[in-house]
Amino acid sequence: MALKQICVYCGSSVGVNSEYARAAENLGRELAQRNFGLVYGGGSVGLMGKVSKEVHERGGSVLGIIPKKLLPKEISGETSGELIVTEDMHERKKYMSTLADAFIALPGGFGTLEELLEILTWHQLGLHAKPVGILNVSGFFDSFLRFLDDAVAAGFISETARQIPVVGTTPTELIEKLLAKVDC
């Protein structure tokens, strides 16, 4: 399997740490430089807006997928690239998972975490074998990663399943790890 399209899960806010926005922009640049298309939640605000704008401005392919109910909330201004409007969140996530060859989570809130956990669960259940990455900006995901380790120790996550998410602190490092998963 070759990586062509990468789905990025991230916040509709930029957060309080300027490193989050910088990481989203750097990821967008890295995706465009490597000719990876971006599949994302379709918003023009927050980290979603940052990563999609960077990919689009550098000539990369951008496909946003957004439920119609979120249009007024997550769209403020012009969106980057193509936009698909779905009926609901379930249809959105189905499109995103089907169209992407890999997944990356940036910092975000409940929605980002829910999407990350769902795609990890689907991998664990054998519903897909696509690589899943976490861009751990400024230690944002440290407590989540500790939770995964604690769940392994408590017997709720297998050691094998714990290896599904790959973690990097820079876009370049993370993408190299995702590519290594594909080459295995």
**pLDDT tens digits along 63-89:** 999 888 887 655 655 677 888 999 999
69 compared with 28, residue with greater pLDDT: 28
Q: Which residue has the tokens 């990663």?
A: 145
% of the chain beyond a pLDDT of 90: 84
Structural domains of the chain sorted by starting position, each given as residue range(s) with its CATH number in brackets = 5-139+166-183 (3.40.50.450)
Assigned token pair, 87: 């009926």
Confidence (pLDDT) at 182: 85
Would you say 77 and 60 are in contact if contact means Cβ atoms under 8 Å apart? no
**pLDDT tens digits along 116-150:** 999 999 999 999 999 999 999 999 999 999 999 99
The pTM score is: 0.94
Rounded CA-CA distance 83/58 in Å is: 18
Per DSSP bridges, beta strands 37-40 and 5-9 are parallel
Confidence (pLDDT) at 70: 80
Mean local confidence (pLDDT), 144-168: 98
Rounded CA-CA distance 168/164 in Å is: 13
Would you say 120 and 152 are in contact if contact means Cβ atoms under 8 Å apart? no
Mean local confidence (pLDDT), 149-170: 98
